[in-house]
């Protein structure tokens, strides 16, 4: 009788541990997807600033300063840090501006910026995306 109780207790503990790991894995996957969407939102914001603000055919703008954006709604746990670098070139008689933009999103920013420089916890998620634009 005692043996059966011990076996059932061990099985119950193993099932609880398995269930907890499965839930943490699902939460981690959801946070990773949100981080990816946050980084993508940062790239879209930067693309608008560079390609449509001011609208063509006006002169291409310079790069914006490194910007930290706290996101609203379902992404309110995330901050995205967007940076830009600019180079120029000439092809034929046409001048072009080449922009390299990088968006880093995380759910535990340090001093409001990503990536975090603090010791990381198991729930920390970070994604970085980059894009090249020409105007």
**Domain map of the chain by residue range?**
2-134
Summarize pLDDT for 13-53 with one digit per residue, the tens: 767 676 666 666 677 888 999 999 999 999 999 999 998 87
pLDDT at 16: 67
Look up tokens 């880093």; give the residue. Answer: 104
Percent of the chain residues topping a pLDDT of 90: 50
DSSP 5-69: HHHHHHHHHHHHHHHHHHHHHHHHHHHHHHHHHHHHHHHHHHHHHHHSSSPTTSPPP-PPPPEEE
pTM score: 0.78
């Amino acid at each position: 009788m005692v043996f059966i109780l011990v076996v059932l207790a061990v099985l119950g503990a193993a099932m609880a541990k398995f269930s907890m790991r499965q839930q943490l894995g699902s939460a981690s996957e959801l946070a990773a997807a949100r981080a990816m969407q946050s980084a993508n939102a940062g790239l879209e914001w930067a693309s608008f600033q560079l390609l449509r603000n001011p609208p063509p055919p006006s002169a291409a703008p310079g790069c914006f300063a490194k910007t930290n954006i706290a996101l609203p709604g379902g992404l309110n746990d995330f901050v995205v840090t967007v940076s830009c670098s600019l180079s120029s070139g000439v092809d034929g008689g046409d001048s072009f501006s080449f922009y390299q933009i990088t968006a880093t999103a995380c759910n535990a920013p340090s001093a409001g910026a990503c990536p975090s420089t603090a010791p990381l916890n198991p729930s920390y998620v970070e994604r970085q995306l980059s894009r090249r634009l020409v105007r």
